[in-house]
Amino acid sequence: MAAFSFNRIEIDLGALKNNFHRIQRSAGQQVRVMAVVKSDAYGHGLVECARALSDAGAETFGVAEVEEGVALRRAGLAGEIVILLGAAPESYEEVVAYDLTPVVYDLDAIAGLAAAASKKNGKVRVHLKVDVGMGRLGVAPAEVKSCVALLKRLPSISLRGILSHLPSADAAEKPEITRAHLSRFSEVLAGLKIGEPGVVHIANSAALIYFPGSRLDMVRPGISLYGCYPDALPARAQSAAPGLELQPVMRFATRVIQVKELEKGSGISYGHTYVTRRKSRIAVLPVGYADGYLRKLSNRAEVLIGGRRAPVRGRVCMNATMVEVTDLPPVRAGDEAVLLGRQGDAAISADEVAGWMETISYEVLCLLGSCNERVYLHPEMKR
């Protein structure tokens, strides 16, 4: 039994599986879905989420680094595990030993991996990454042909796919940028022999929703698996991809540890940035920026108590946050407070928290998920 904390992140694995099925249905049954579980599954827990996704039918997984792939293999996960950032020379042997599939984007890595594989009389599968406009990882389009030729010559390397990544597929106002990137990718592929590139893939969540032509052989959803829309616009996404109704997977709950009455004119928390305008009831929550509930949320965010919204008053501290419950039915110490997710008929979405934090849902999920104890709800469990 873990040491007790008031704060808990609940992960709804049933919702995760439903999202996977909906994305698969939306992309089309002939399109493979790589479940992107990098960064501890966006804060939701690498192994638990990958297992649930594997149960749901996922056969390909995307992680950032080799150590995440190793953790998945040690947990018994089968299927293809693609290392999106590629491998460092120190980990080439592990890549071979654990049958991981690194993305490659330079000749040294290709040669090094080939040597590590042939030393073990093995074979290493790779995907070649090309940069068609992201300005991040990948070889230049003009280098693809020679890289493919090299990969084909190395007996201990098996080229399984070619990929790229899109920087602006969520930007409604400039679809022509993504169209240009997609056509650059098509040109690269057209320069290769039939069958040579293996599985071709470029679409993240935004592209698979807004650019159906980008789905190709495989799509790589991350944020949508976890129940958020890449541009924070559910209505826009659902009109582009009918039936793609995503369910939030993460919920962050704590409980009230004290309720007090303060007279009009009382300052709350460090710096007294909030002063009560009337006689007020204030609830203290044992959550703060050390738990990923950033100081930026001071005097901005709301939480749910008894299915009603309570505004944050004063600065968020390292381990405590005050909320006003004057207008709510009586609140007592021990009552549940929800900072993210549903309570009764009300809900606070990751996009809403992201708005208060001036960031995106991705960052909210990674942060809250990695700072707090997680518990897993299985589909057969009722909340």
Ligand X SMILES: *Cc1c(COP(=O)(O)O)cnc(C)c1O
Chain residues in the site for ligand X (CB under 6 A): 36, 38, 84, 165, 204-206, 220-224, 230
How crowded is residue 114: how many other Cβ atoms within 10 Å of its Cβ? 21
Q: Name the CA dihedral angle for 350, 354, 355, 357, rounded to a multiple of 10 degrees.
A: 140
- Amino acid letter, residue 308: R
Q: How far is CA 164 from the centre of its chain?
A: 18
Q: What would the DSSP string read from start to end of 113-145?
A: HHHHHHHTT--EEEEEEB-SSSSSSSB-GGGHH
Q: Rounded to the nearest whole angstrom, what is the least distance from the CB of residue 207 to ligand X in the complex?
A: 8
Q: Rounded to the nearest whole angstrom, what is the least distance from the CB of residue 362 to ligand X in the complex?
A: 6
Q: Rounded to the nearest whole angstrom, what is the least distance from the CB of residue 252 to ligand X in the complex?
A: 20
Residue 36 vs 325, nearer CB to ligand X: 36
Token pair belonging to 176: 């022509």
Residue 104 vs 337, nearer CB to ligand X: 104
Strands (DSSP E) contained in 124-248 are: 124-129, 157-163, 199-203, 218-219
Residue 65 vs 291, nearer CB to ligand X: 65
Residues tagged active-site: 38, 270
Q: Rounded to the nearest whole angstrom, what is the least distance from the CB of residue 69 to ligand X in the complex?
A: 14
Q: Which residue is nearest to ligand X (CB)?
A: 222
User: Is the four-CA dihedral 275, 277, 283, 288 of positive or negative sign?
Assistant: negative
Q: Which residues contact 123 (CB under 8 A, 6 or more apart)?
A: 117, 156, 157, 158
| Pairwise CA distance, residues 362 & 90, whole Å | 30
Q: Rounded to the nearest whole angstrom, what is the least distance from the CB of residue 58 to ligand X in the complex?
A: 14
| Pairwise CA distance, residues 272 & 199, whole Å | 58
How crowded is residue 153: how many other Cβ atoms within 10 Å of its Cβ? 9
Residue 206 vs 282, nearer CB to ligand X: 206
Q: Rounded to the nearest whole angstrom, what is the least distance from the CB of residue 105 to ligand X in the complex?
A: 11
